[in-house]
C-alpha cells in the first residue's frame, strides 16, 4: 500500500486515514498502518525524503501484523494485507 503524508489541521489535530503518516504540532511522528489503529513512532529513527515520504527504521508492530514503511510504501512483513 502506498501511504500518504498528512499535516495537522489549523486546530492541531492530525487526522490519519489508513496508511497515513505525519508529524503533529509537537514534532512527534504518528502513523496508521493498513488495517490498524494509529500509533506514535516515539523513539524511532524517521528519515524524511525530499518527496515528502518517510522511511521508519525497524519494524512497526500492529495488532496482528508487522509492517515496514519505506519511502512511503507499506509492506506487511507477515505476507498478508498491504
Q: What is the largest CA-CA distance in the chain?
A: 38
Q: Which CB contacts under 8 angstroms, 24+ apart, belong to 11-16?
A: none
Q: Mind listing the pLDDT tens digit for each residue in 22-40?
A: 999 999 999 999 999 999 9
User: What pLDDT is recorded for position 80?
Assistant: 62
Could you list the mean pLDDT of each consecutive 10-residue stretch along the chain, which spans 82 residues?
A: 95 95 96 94 94 94 90 89 52
C-alpha closest to that of 40 among 65, 14, 66, 4: 14
Amino acid at each position: 500500500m502506498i501511504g500518504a503524508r498528512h499535516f495537522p489541521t489549523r486546530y492541531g489535530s492530525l487526522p490519519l486515514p489508513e496508511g497515513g503518516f505525519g508529524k503533529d504540532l509537537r514534532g512527534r511522528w504518528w502513523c496508521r498502518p493498513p488495517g490498524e489503529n494509529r500509533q506514535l513512532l516515539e523513539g524511532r529513527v524517521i528519515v524524511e525524503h525530499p518527496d515528502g515520504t518517510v522511511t521508519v527504521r525497524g519494524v512497526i508492530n500492529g495488532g496482528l501484523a508487522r509492517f515496514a514503511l519505506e519511502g512511503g510504501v507499506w509492506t506487511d512483513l507477515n505476507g498478508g494485507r498491504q
